[in-house]
Structure 1
């Protein structure tokens, strides 16, 4: 009953406020495909489809053979499905009482059964122009209308405001969705900060990595992959504003249409986009007690055929970083056994980013979209270190003092072009071209001096005065062609081909400062390499639904080859791999749509990057060396998931998942003693195996109109093994991770958000990460007819966030306690402005290529 009232409310609002003449009549031709013909005199209504309950009145017509009306409602610009669109079956074009009603599900799909020979289907959705279809009985039992595209409405709903806040977490096919549009704490920050609130995701600022349930995911923005990883990826996300994020799809079991790399799955960041015809924009400014400021401006101009958006973001700030190290090297002499060090760094960071998008709708069936991103990051970090060297008897031997300075300049450029074409209502072609450019320039200098116990200078080999320069240009080209074909109202196939080529020339040079102020290059500590890689892939998927079952099965074939060239001695390393990646999922939904169960399985791959393949040995650390391994091979992860969901009314929902995964021949950093060099060495080998099992629980609860709470809890238990029996491995322990996100509506326009995060100790082969957690509070106030939003955040209220990490082996122990300045206040002000235009768009049948 509640859903029926919602249907009636939405339909009534749009019927009165979004009056737009737009009606088509659906016939069938000889090949059983619908022909859409415009009719006149039809009054519009908003629409959408799927996940529905039917309201039915007794028919006034004869009870002839029953047929089913199905279709899918999508956004005309983005082709994104519209959830909870209103579908109304009317007796005639002037009826105010629906014969039947439905709401679209999360895929935008709907279905209605009817036995009348002629009716009208009203389709409406808030913020969009209405569509009316005149329906005639088909010859068969199914009338499939295909994709019904709704265009953003030309008028603004000034009289009625529908508050349709989505829950923080939603279940979607292959994973779950984090909705960021109502987030307070992430407002005015960068994308990396916003991602910290995603359940199951761990953003490690110090080690420069992102992990999803213990694995590294691939990151996409608006469905297009960001072709950088590791520290470079995190740096890029820090330069982009969080205000533009609409939602993040977390796909733990992605389909075959996605790149197979990344054992952790997919993070697809979806950005906000204006749906109304007109000129709209927002300006945001924020300051914090970290002496940090962030400003952003976003503009959007949407006309009948063209959509242009432009965004700019500037950020600058400081951070204080402290670190305490304990290093025990059992292979060194007694006089150098224990190394105690404390560090103090004052980091300054400045970033600029520009984003622009132009979408041109060639006609009602085809569009071209061009996106350009540019981001620049400057970082200046002076580092002061003091170390005490002790013997095994804890007697002080000597002291070291070292002053470092690191200057970093990063430039990111991404150019993306996409052409989409609909052939009729059943087929769609998408062709894309992407160019990514990344340039990294860094300069690091350090001066290390040893002192005797009495404070006098010590003549030691530990004394060094040198600097390093790193230059890494990285260029990536990707091309894709994807084709979807709807076989009928139940089944669909997809297939496509992708190609990616990447090239980089990485130079690491070490210079030694002489007493006469002359610098000379140290060839022993310098490296120049060139790296090329190519990935060619084809895939196909078959999906469908029948009664309450739905399924998806896919297969992807990828060929990967690379060439690593040493520019120092001309040595080359080449490898090529060809692999198959299957995936499958099946879902059963209850009759009342309140519960479902799904099973899914897939296979993914992790490939070594050029930095891990480069055999160059670095010995700029005291007590050990590190190097790369040119013999590394990719490794595979096989995963199986069971996911259950249950809705209790409209206010409560539960998602429970259990999963297992296994990987063999993992390449990972391993500490072993190098007999040839006579020192411990940290390198990567394909010698580790891991099996892990885990589960996670997500709860969404709404208590009246005042309180919304989303909770995430997960448990994960890994097991480790090595091909080398002598390797030291930590035992696998159960890791607990959880967060809670609560929104309290204190007043109609005043909201408070409380976010808490905690993770327990976790082991990974030879590395132990300690427990950490924090609580953050945010408050938001809207004023001036909701045009201005003021947000105040109190980050890490109890100053508990820290990063304890240790590396253990039989002959080396390294323990570090890292602490950033995480407790601070941030104030953010956002102003929204804009003006809608009256739409002069008219869809005529003779200009619509879908008309047969």
Structure 2
């Protein structure tokens, strides 16, 4: 709290000083921009304000995703406002008076019509800023990310401010791994089994943008104490037909994606297909364990290797039908598949030493193992939107369904040299199904020019069932025999009933405020012996206050209360004993984690196109869910005894407090060179209520990266990215640091319709070394993995169609009365 309080003072001292300096209120003009044909909001329309009769604009802005815009700090006078958007006719509103009695003007909805003559003859391309900071979220636009071309969604996430990704693809948001992932704003069952695998199954070429919401409002589900990451896939809503094809090949990955779009005046279709494959790669492993039991020391040395392969595909179709100018219907269905396969060989030495004598037992063995996991999922959504005569009044009704079928199996067999002991091993199979249904209703009502009210309800039904079939190796029969005592079944159901209210308004004529309250009632059923989760009600308040110090500088303070409900992987009690000395399983008795998140933000944009964002945060998690590893001399699990084993599972360990700061910026240096640095530093303290662990653990953690891009002109661009993460402490040990780097170049051809790119990742280092140390009383374990991370790739893309049309935030707009020079 000491650091958090200091941060509050640092942010608000200049605000209070400015307020006390006698700065008087100035005028404001606001409005909304829509397409005259489709009646949909237009984002990134350029709004400029001029003194009446003058040709030089005095201020300007762009419309947001809902078409809204606000011009502030306008002195008394008479003005005219122009609305411009590429491919549309200009709209002009004149003789607007700002004075002491009328200093806030709300314009009627401004409808602009496509310029059909221009659309038939113009090919327009542009790009948005790499990072956009909005009142309730941060948006990372992936279109110009060169070093991720030919990669997957995980590679993009490494560039997103406030997000960190480890070598295995595990994601954290401001240091919290409990993140709610969405695709196009909707949940998907593809995230149910393995989030890392799911993210690595989405080609980066298919991603349009990534939205990061660290303090979600009441309209969002309360789940995810870390916040929400929404992956927006590519589409196009311009009249006509168009499409794109992306291909990439390399020493690590092979990707392909295809997008097709067609649209008439009121009906549109989007069809997509993508697939990727992670080529077979070899990882080296070593592990040393020492256990002290009274006067006997047991040492175990392991070294070996493993091979990994992944493959996936996604396909879907979406329809958009403007039934009438005020009634719109969208519908879509998509299919997802991913799978991975691992196989390996481990050499092992087990020795036991009593006192200072030589080993009285020294055994050598070799273990062969493999495992496979995968999921097939189908997602369906249907959404109806109705607008009313009153500008901004909307009714939205949505239905989403997801059907996932997952599978997992393993094989492991350990043979001792010279038959010193009988062979041992087991096989296991873990099939399951996941079904989700959601129905939501949302209504928004503007109250006046500065305030609006929103409310809504949602019901969610989820059912998961899983079966664990285990077959231990019978050495006397030399075969694997089914064991009913080690096998089990797991059935899980959850119903969530939610209702929310929220409001946007001005507070003290100083803050733009957005406040809300969400109420979620959860009923959970678990069909597993000894497990019981009571029903509970959860209130999730949220508040965002923002203030514009000037047209380019904004400060923000936010609070949200969130919940993390354990997911399928956390709860599934299936025992993974593919390594009988390091086993893992889920915990069906987990309770939800509760998070209280506070943030302070500062954002400034520069005329040259750069920006800087500073976010200070304080996060407190109660019933904190953590993964931890504990040693056992002998452990009975599902009817089988494991000797000298480390067990990894998840538990409500206690509480966690994290205080930190995230700084990110985009800094243009000249016309052709741009730097995007980012640093996140935090202090984490975890209070622990577990046996054989300290009462608390704490430490500092840091993540730094730098992205540099240079435009050589002639449509040739180069980019470099370097990333560093400091060591991470565990409940009873720590992980090592991580450093990676990559380079890319791209040449655009055929009037920017085609491009060819080259990418390399860590060209001078074949492996990334990752180590982990676990220490408990009488036990020590050190393990190291050498993960192959060097690769080279080539990417090709081609865009086609009657019209390529993208929104341009930075186009120069000519004064009223003078045509745009196209």
Equivalent position of 2:499 in the other structure? 538
Question: Which residue does the alignment assign to 2:639?
Answer: none
Residues 411 and 578 in structure 2, CA contact (< 8 A), matched pair in contact too: no
**Aligned partners of 1:366 and 1:422 also within 8 Å:** yes
2: CA distance, partners of 1:684 / 1:83: 45
Match of 2:267? Answer: 306
How has the CA–CA distance of structure 1 residues 406 and 491 changed in structure 2, closer, same or farther, with 3 Å as cutoff?
A: same
For the structure 1 residues 696 and 477, does the alpha-carbon distance in structure 2 shift closer, same or farther, using more than 3 Å as the test? same
Matches of residues 526-675 of structure 1 in structure 2 within 5 Å?
Answer: 526-545=487-506, 549-566=511-528, 573-591=532-550, 593-614=551-572, 621-623=579-581, 626-672=584-630
Per the TM alignment, residue 778 of structure 1 is displaced from its structure 2 partner at its CA by 0.4
Contact map agreement 1:73 1:104 (CA 8 A) in 2 = no
Give the structure 1 partner of residue 742 of structure 2.
Answer: 776
Which residue, 440, 450, 457 being the options, matches 1:490? 450
The CA deviation at 1:758 is 0.5
Q: For the residues of structure 2 that align with 1:654 and 1:198, how far apart are their CA atoms?
A: 14
The reply on whether 1:248 has 2:181 as its aligned counterpart is no
Aligned residue in 2 for 1:418: 383
Q: Distance in 2 between matches of 1:744 and 1:619?
A: 50
Could you give the per-residue CA deviations for residues 292-347 of structure 1, whole angstroms, max 9, x where no partner exists? 42222111101111111111112224132324232425256988822222232222
Matched residue of 1:734: which SS? strand
Pairing of 1:284-363 with structure 2 (within 5 A): 284-290=246-252, 292-330=253-291, 337-363=298-324
| CA-CA distance at 1:232 after TM superposition | 2.1
| Match of residue 681 from structure 2 | 715
Distance 1:363 1:90 in 2: 38
* 1:73 equivalenced with 2:9 (yes/no): no
Partner secondary structure for residue 485 of structure 2: helix
Partner residue of 1:28?
Answer: none
Write the distance in 1 (CA, Å) between the matches of 2:169 and 2:31.
48
Tell me if structure 1 keeps the 8 A contact 2:225–2:593.
no
Residue 238 to residue 610, structure 1, CA distance change in 2 (3 Å): closer
Greater shift, 661-670 or 388-397, is seen at 388-397
Aligned to 1:199: 161
2:604–2:613 contact (8 Å) kept in structure 1: yes
Find the aligned partners of 2:89 and 2:374 in 1 and give their Cα distance: 47
Displacement of 1:613: 3.7
> What SS class does the counterpart of residue 194 from structure 1 fall into?
helix
Report the alpha carbon displacement of residue 153 of structure 1 after superposing the two structures with TM. Answer: 5.6
Distance in 1 (alpha carbons) for counterparts of 2:35 and 2:382? 19
Residues 231-246 of structure 1: pairs in structure 2 closer than 5 A: 232-246=194-208
> Quick check: 1:278–1:837 contact (8 Å CA) kept in 2?
no
For 1:670 and 1:273, the matched residues in 2 are separated by 42
TM-score (norm 2): 0.84
- The structure 2 residue matched to 1:756, chosen from 719, 722, 729, is 722
Give the whole-Å Cα distance in 2 for the aligned partners of 1:574 and 1:563: 7
Deviations 1:693-739 (A, max 9, x none): 10111121112221111110111110122235752367422111011
Greater relative contact order structure (CA < 8 Å, 6+ sep): 2
CA separation of 1:618/1:103 partners in 2, compared to 1, >3 Å: closer, same or farther? closer
Change in CA separation of 1:224 and 1:150 when aligned onto 2, cut-off 3 Å:
farther
Q: Of residues 161, 180, 185 in structure 2, which corresponds to 1:218?
A: 180
Match for 2:659 among 681, 685, 693?
Answer: 693
Alignment of 1:400 with 2:365, yes or no, is yes
Q: Give me the whole-angstrom Cα distance separating, in 1, the residues matched to 2:454 and 2:768.
A: 45
Q: 1:24 aligns to what?
A: none
What is the aligned-residue RMSD (CA, Å)?
3.4
Aligned to 2:460: 500
- Which has the higher mean CA deviation after the structures are superposed, 522-531 or 300-309? 522-531
Report how many aligned residue pairs link the two structures: 758
Structure 2's unaligned 5+ residue stretches are: 1-25, 637-642, 806-822
Q: Which runs of 5+ in 1 are unaligned?
A: 1-65, 839-852
Give the secondary-structure state (helix, strand or coil) at the position aligned to 1:243.
helix
Distance 2:580 2:676 in 1: 47
Question: Distance in 1 between the 2:172 and 2:236 partners?
Answer: 30
Compute the displacement of 1:288 (Å). Answer: 0.2
- How far apart are residue 644 of structure 1 and its match? 1.5
The answer to whether the Cα contact below 8 Å between 2:202 and 2:276 also exists between their aligned partners in 1 is: no
Q: Does 1:740 align with 2:706?
A: yes
Other structure's SS at 2:759 match:
strand
1:360 and 1:367 in contact (8 A); partners too: yes
**Equivalence for 1:258:** 220
When residues 195 and 707 of structure 1 are mapped into structure 2, their CA distance, relative to the original with a 3 A threshold, is: same
CA shift for structure 1 position 219 = 1.3
TM-score, length-scaled by structure 1: 0.81
Equivalence for 1:55: none
